[in-house]
Amino acid sequence: MSRPPLSRQRVIEAAARVADTSGLAGVSMRTVGREVGVEAMSLYHHVAGKEALLDGLADWVFEQVALPVAGAPWRTEMEARAHSARRVLAAHPWGLGLLESRRSPGPATLGHHDAVLGCLRSAGFTVALAAHAFSVLDAYTYGFVLTEVNLPFEPGESTEDFVSSVSRRCRCTTTWPARRPCSTASPTGCSSRSRYRPPAGPGGPRWKPGRAPHAGCCRPTRGA
């Protein structure tokens, strides 16, 4: 069976597969050449070198993210784009540190930025406000994915499973400790009338009417 001809697109897709397996540190002309079954020197007919390869990877990530549509409701379009970016970056977390670090943006990168700004501008945003909104949305989305991909999941564990397991471990099985009231009045005004009342509901701990407790003498007591 003949091998498909080598092309720039095929080289970039191979680099993405290498990055998925080994991270950006594992991407080199040699490893990408091995991925497509050719010598590293063959790649130079399609990319100028590793820096051009990384530029192509950043552009490849932007190609995967859904583009907003100018003239459509901007909130809906920005939400859809954020969800799309989250899915793409969660699948290819090496893209997080790559997207905003390249100095030679490709056509997909430029087209993506143009679509986002165009959608916001068509909704009445000024140039400055559209740029600010774009920055805020990306900061939130990228930050969320960065946290999400670094959570200590077990193999095959979903986000919902992880949250459930943490919730089970964090359930409190004891009540708030009681407080020993002061036996005598203190210089700050603490008196025996200030007694701790355990929480009766979701509102949390409350103090009975009286002056505020004195931190130096109203200490927690266990078993009281």
Least confident among 8-22, 81-95, 143-157, 176-190 = 176-190
Q: Give the whole-angstrom CA distance, residue 80 versus residue 121.
A: 17
pLDDT in tens, 13-63: 999 999 999 999 999 999 999 999 999 999 999 999 999 999 999 999 999
Phi first, then psi: give them for residue 119, nearest 5 degrees.
-65, -45
User: CA 15 to CA 27: how far, in whole Å?
Assistant: 6
Q: Which two tokens stand for residue 104?
A: 């030679």
> What average pLDDT is seen over the chain?
82
CATH superfamily of 8-54: Homeodomain-like (1.10.10.60)
Task: Map out the domains of the chain as residue ranges.
Answer: 8-54, 62-150
Global model pTM greater than 0.85: no
CA dist., res. 18 & res. 93, Å (int):
13
State pLDDT tens for residues 21-34: 999 999 999 999 99
- To the question of domain 62-150 being in CATH 3.90.1150.10, the answer is no
Judge whether 61 and 88 are in contact, CB under 8 Å.
yes
